[in-house]
């Protein structure tokens, strides 16, 4: 692994665990077993590190979502695979990571916002339209509104600070919100398909 990639990987692990603001460049250097001078050779300051890290991670997510789109059997399967990917990430994330990103690192947060608008929104919109065509999503839905609603739900979880994660985990909260969203937009055909993927029998609900 190249030095620059190693710095990004280790920094992300620390930021996910403690939040961005609470991790210093000294702590990153110590965790890496390298000098701060080496880190500053690639990143002129912490803001630059966070900004480039955000771009690196968003590019990885873009590639991952494209892979999921190709592998998915149908729109419901696609949204569930994306959700599983997000849940796996959220299991290792301190919610302070997203709040710190929004409050203290505007350049990185702007990259996230641009990704949401230019990539995530497009994928969700295509998913909703395809689901309607296949009869697994309700025909009376406004695709643009529903795609925006889903983005708003993700924003609420990451940046809204509406929930206390002491009694329920960050990842579990995401799963509950997704379930409510999918059941709300699905037809009976879609409900059955969703339940089948989750291995739930209708009488178990």
Residue pair 170/93 in contact by the 8 Å Cβ criterion: yes
pLDDT at 1: 65
pLDDT at 140: 98
Average pLDDT over residues 143-148: 98
- Does 201 have pLDDT greater than 60? no
Q: Which CATH class is domain 54-204?
A: mainly alpha
The 3-state DSSP class for residue 184 equals: helix
Write down the domain spans for the chain.
54-204
Bridge partners (DSSP) of residue 186 are 137
pLDDT at 181: 96
Residue pair 14/31 in contact by the 8 Å Cβ criterion: yes
Residue pair 105/182 in contact by the 8 Å Cβ criterion: no
Alpha-carbon distance of 110 to 82, in angstroms, equals: 22
Residue pair 105/159 in contact by the 8 Å Cβ criterion: no
pTM of full prediction above 0.85: yes
**Nearest Cα to Cα of residue 179 among 203, 159, 197:** 197
The 3-state DSSP class for residue 91 equals: coil
Tell me: the pLDDT tens digits for 15-69? 999 999 999 999 999 999 999 999 999 999 999 999 999 999 999 999 999 999 9
Alpha-carbon distance of 44 to 37, in angstroms, equals: 10
pLDDT at 83: 87
């Amino acid at each position: 692994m190249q030095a620059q990639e190693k710095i990004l990987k280790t920094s992300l692990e620390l930021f996910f665990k403690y939040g961005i603001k609470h991790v210093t460049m000294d702590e990153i250097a110590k965790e890496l077993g390298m000098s701060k001078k080496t880190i500053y050779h690639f990143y002129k300051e912490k803001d630059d590190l966070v900004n480039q890290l955000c771009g690196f991670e968003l590019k990885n997510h873009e590639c991952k979502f494209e892979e999921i789109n190709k592998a998915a059997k149908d729109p419901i399967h696609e949204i569930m695979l994306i959700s599983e990917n997000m849940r796996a990430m959220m299991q290792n994330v301190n919610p302070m990571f997203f709040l710190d990103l929004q409050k203290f690192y505007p350049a990185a947060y702007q990259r996230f916002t641009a990704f949401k608008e230019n990539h995530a929104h497009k994928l969700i919109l295509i998913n909703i339209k395809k689901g309607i065509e296949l009869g697994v999503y309700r025909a009376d839905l406004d695709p643009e509104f529903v795609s925006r609603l889903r983005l708003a739900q993700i924003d609420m979880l990451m940046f809204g600070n509406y929930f206390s994660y002491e009694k329920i985990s960050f990842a579990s909260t995401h799963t509950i919100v997704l379930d409510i969203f999918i059941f709300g937009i699905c037809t009976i055909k879609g409900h059955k398909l969703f339940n089948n993927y989750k291995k739930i029998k209708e009488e178990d609900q």
